[in-house]
C-alpha cells in the first residue's frame, strides 16, 4: 500500500476485529429497522424511537476515527438540507477507555460546529449488536437511511450518502437493487473477515510469546493482502513496544538507518497509530522524529501522520513546521484523487492554529 492509498486504514485496523465472525443472516436494505436504544445524548433533543412519517439517518462513528471526523461537515450539510424531512443521529460506538459518556461529550463540545445533528453514544452495545454488527460493515463512518415506513433503504459510507438520501426523500429509491448490491458487497467482506480473524490470532500468539508462529501468520496475511503490508508492520512494532520499549526503539533505529520509502511510511504511520491505541509516547515520539528525517518526496500522507503524532503528543514547536509542510504537500492532491483532501487540509489548519496558540506564536487579528 503506497502513501496515496492510505486514506481509511486507521479505523479499519482499529474496528475490524470487533466484527470478525462470519454470519448468514445480515441486516440489509429492505429490512425493517431494528430497535433503537442509546446510552445517552451529547447533543440535540433526545429521542427514544425511530419516528414513522420521517426519514432517519443513523451514522456510526467514534472519537478516535479520523475519516469519521472528516465526514462530519458533509453529514451536517445533508442534515441542514433535509431538516424538514430527515432526522440525523450520530451514534458513537466502540470507544476506547472507561468513560465513554465523558469522551463523547468532550469531543462534541469541541466539534459542535461540525456536528449539526443529534449525537448520542451507544449503551450496553445495543446499537452495535442490533445494527452495526448484523449489517456486516467493516469500518466507520457507516450510515443507514431509514424511510418513513421504518424500512432501511441504504447502508454505506457517510461520504456516499447524497444520492441515496435524495432518492429516499423523493420516494424513488430502488431498494431491491440496493439490497442486491449491498449483499454482494458484504459477501466480499467475508474474505476480509477471515483475514481479520487470522490477524487477531497472530497478535495473540505474539503477545503469548510464540513470535515465530505469529510471524508465519503475519507473512501469510501480507501475501493475501499486499496492500496491508505497512499496517501489518506497524501492528508488529506496536506489539513489540508493549513487551519492550527498548526493543521497539532498536527496530525504529534500524528502519531509520535503512531510510527506504517503506521505512519512512511505516515509521510515520506508527507514530500516529500507536497513540490512537494508547501506546508508548516514547516510541511514538522517536518514530515521528526519525520518520521526519527520511520522508521522501514531501509525501503528504507521511507528513500528515507525523504532524498528527506531534500534535497528539503536544509537541507544539515540532508540530507547527510539519503541519505547514503537510499543507504545502497537499496542494499537489486534487479532490478527484482524494475526495476528503479539503477536509483533511482543514483539520491540519485547525491543528496549526491550536499549536500556535499553545506555543504562544498565534496572534489574532484585532483590527476592525
User: In the predicted model, is pLDDT for residue 367 greater than 70?
Assistant: no
Collapsing DSSP to helix, strand or coil, 51 comes out as: coil
Residue 169 pLDDT > 90, yes or no?
yes
Tell me what pLDDT residue 5 has. Answer: 36
User: Rounded to whole angstroms, how far apart are CA atoms 271 and 234?
Assistant: 9
> Are residues 97 and 160 located together in one domain of the fold?
yes
Same domain? 162 vs 259: no
Q: Which residues of 115-137 are buried (b: 16+ CB within 10 A; e: fewer)?
A: bbbbbbbbeeebbbebbbbbbbb
d(CA 284, CA 223): 27
- Measured between alpha carbons, how far is 344 from 327 in angstroms, rounded to an integer? 9
Instruction: Please state, as a whole number, how many other Cβ atoms lie within 10 Å of the Cβ of residue 337.
Output: 9
- Identify the domain boundary among 135, 161, 187: 187
Q: 171 and 75, same structural domain?
A: yes
| Residue 188, pLDDT score | 84
pLDDT of 11 strictly over 60: no
| Distances, alpha carbon 244 to alpha carbons 217, 249, 250, 313, in Å | 22, 9, 10, 20
Q: Does residue 246 sit in the same domain as residue 182?
A: no
Contact between 169 and 55 (Cβ < 8 Å)? yes
Q: Are residues 136 and 26 in the same domain?
A: yes
| Paired strand residues for 196 | none
The predicted structure's pLDDT at residue 363:
59
pLDDT, averaged across the chain: 91
What's the longest Cα–Cα distance across the chain? 67
d(CA 27, CA 353): 43
Is 214 within the bounds of a domain? no
CA–CA dist 210, 203 (Å, integer): 10
Give residue-wise pLDDT tens across range 275-297: 999 999 999 999 999 999 999 88
| Residue 213 belongs to a domain | no
Work out the percent of the chain whose per-residue pLDDT is above 70: 91
Q: In angstroms, rounded to a whole number, what is the distance separating the alpha carbons of residues 123 and 271?
A: 32
**Which CATH number fits the domain that encloses residue 136?**
3.40.30.10
- Residues 264, 129: one domain? no
**The domain boundary residue, chosen from 170, 187, 204:** 187
Q: DSSP alpha helices (H): ranges in 261-299?
A: 261-276, 281-294
Query: What is the pLDDT at residue 149?
Result: 97
Dihedral pair phi/psi, residue 82, rounded to 5°? -115, 30
pLDDT score of 251 more than 50: yes
pLDDT value for 180: 95
167, 187, 207 - which closes a domain: 187
Are 172 and 245 part of one and the same domain?
Answer: no
Question: Is residue 210 assigned to a domain?
Answer: no
Q: Which helix (H) or strand (E) is 142 found in, with range? A: strand 142-146
- Burial class of residue 87 (count of CB atoms within 10 Å of its CB; 0-12, 13-18, 19+): buried
236 and 158 together in one domain: no
Per-residue model confidence (pLDDT) at position 24: 58
Q: Residue 368: is its pLDDT beyond 50?
A: no
CA 166, 171, 174, 175 torsion-angle sign: positive
Q: What is the pLDDT of residues 285-333, one digit of tens each?
A: 999 999 999 998 899 999 999 999 999 999 999 999 999 999 999 999 9
260 and 171 fall within a common domain: no
Among 242, 299, 244, 243, which Cα is nearest to 266's? 299
pLDDT at position 13 is: 42
Residue owning grid cell 516510541: 283
The whole-number pLDDT of residue 191 equals: 85
pLDDT at 97: 81
* pLDDT band, very low/low/confident/very high, at 187 (cuts 50, 70, 90): confident
User: Terminus-to-terminus CA distance in the chain, angstroms?
Assistant: 49
| Residue 22 pLDDT class (50, 70, 90 cuts) | very low
pLDDT (0 to 100) of residue 362: 61
Which pLDDT band holds residue 217 (cuts at 50, 70, 90)?
A: very high
One domain for residues 137 and 244:
no
Rounded distance between C-alpha atoms, residue 237 and residue 265, angstroms:
13
| pLDDT at residue 246 is higher than 90 | yes
Find the CATH number of the domain harbouring 302. Answer: 1.25.40
User: For residue 203, how many C-alpha atoms fall within 13 Å in the half-sphere facing its CB?
Assistant: 19
Report pLDDT digits (tens) over 38-96: 999 999 999 999 999 999 999 999 999 989 999 999 999 999 999 999 999 999 998 98
Using alpha carbons only, what angle is made at residue 123 by residues 118 and 126, rounded to the nearest 5 degrees? Answer: 100
Give the structural domain span for 120. 3-187
130 lies in the same domain as 235: no
Mean pLDDT confidence for 133-140? 89
Compute the chain's Rg from CA coordinates: 21
Q: What is the pLDDT of residue 361?
A: 67
Q: Tell me the pTM.
A: 0.60
Tell me how many domains the chain contains.
2
Residue 132 belongs to some domain of the structure: yes
- Asked whether residue 194 is domain-assigned, the answer is no
Q: What is residue 12's predicted lDDT score, i.e. its pLDDT?
A: 43
Q: Is residue 215 part of a domain?
A: no
Q: How confident is the model at residue 135 (pLDDT cuts 50, 70, 90)?
A: very high
Q: pLDDT tens digit string along 109-129?
A: 999 999 999 999 998 999 999
Residue 138 domain flag? yes
* Residues 35, 141 within the same domain: yes
Amino acid at each position: 500500500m503506497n502513501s496515496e492509498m492510505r486514506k481509511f486504514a486507521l479505523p479499519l485496523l482499529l474496528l475490524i476485529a470487533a466484527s470478525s465472525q462470519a454470519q448468514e443472516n445480515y441486516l440489509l436494505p429492505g429490512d425493517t429497522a431494528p430497535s433503537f436504544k442509546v446510552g445517552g445524548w451529547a447533543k440535540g433533543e433526545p429521542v427514544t424511537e425511530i419516528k414513522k412519517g420521517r426519514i432517519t439517518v443513523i451514522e456510526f462513528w467514534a472519537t478516535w476515527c479520523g475519516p469519521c471526523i472528516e465526514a462530519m461537515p458533509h453529514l451536517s450539510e445533508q442534515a441542514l438540507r433535509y431538516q424538514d424531512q430527515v432526522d440525523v443521529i450520530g451514534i458513537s460506538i466502540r470507544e476506547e477507555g472507561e468513560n465513554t459518556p465523558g469522551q463523547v461529550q468532550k469531543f462534541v463540545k469541541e466539534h459542535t460546529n461540525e456536528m449539526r445533528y443529534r449525537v448520542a453514544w451507544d449503551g450496553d452495545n445495543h446499537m452495535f449488536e442490533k445494527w452495526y454488527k448484523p449489517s456486516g460493515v467493516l469500518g466507520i463512518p457507516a450510515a443507514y437511511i431509514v424511510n418513513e415506513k421504518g424500512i432501511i433503504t441504504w447502508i454505506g459510507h457517510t461520504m456516499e450518502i447524497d444520492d441515496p438520501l435524495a432518492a429516499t426523500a423523493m420516494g424513488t429509491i430502488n431498494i431491491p437493487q440496493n439490497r442486491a448490491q449491498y449483499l454482494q458487497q458484504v459477501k466480499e467482506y467475508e474474505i476480509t473477515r477471515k483475514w481479520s480473524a487470522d490477524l487477531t490470532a497472530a497478535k495473540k500468539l505474539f503477545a503469548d510469546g510464540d513470535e515465530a508462529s505469529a510471524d508465519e501468520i503475519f507473512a501469510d496475511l501480507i501475501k493475501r493482502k499486499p496492500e496491508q503490508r505497512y499496517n501489518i508492520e506497524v501492528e508488529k512494532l506496536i506489539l513489540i513496544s508493549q513487551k519492550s520499549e527498548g526493543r521497539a526503539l532498536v527496530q525504529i533505529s534500524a528502519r531509520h538507518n535503512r531510510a527506504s520509502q517503506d521505512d519512512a511510511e511505516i515509521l510515520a504511520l506508527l507514530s500516529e497509530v500507536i497513540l490512537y491505541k494508547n501506546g508508548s509516547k516514547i516510541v511514538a515520539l522517536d518514530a515521528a522524529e526519525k520518520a521526519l528525517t527520511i520522508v521522501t518526496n514531501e509525501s503528504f500522507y507521511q507528513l500528515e501522520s507525523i504532524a498528527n503524532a506531534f500534535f497528539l503528543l503536544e509537541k507544539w514547536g515540532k508540530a507547527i513546521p510539519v503541519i505547514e509542510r503537510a499543507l504545502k504537500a497537499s496542494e499537489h492532491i486534487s479532490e478527484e484523487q482524494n475526495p476528503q483532501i479539503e477536509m483533511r487540509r482543514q483539520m491540519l489548519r485547525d491543528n496549526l492554529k491550536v499549536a500556535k496558540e499553545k506555543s504562544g506564536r498565534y496572534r489574532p487579528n484585532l483590527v476592525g
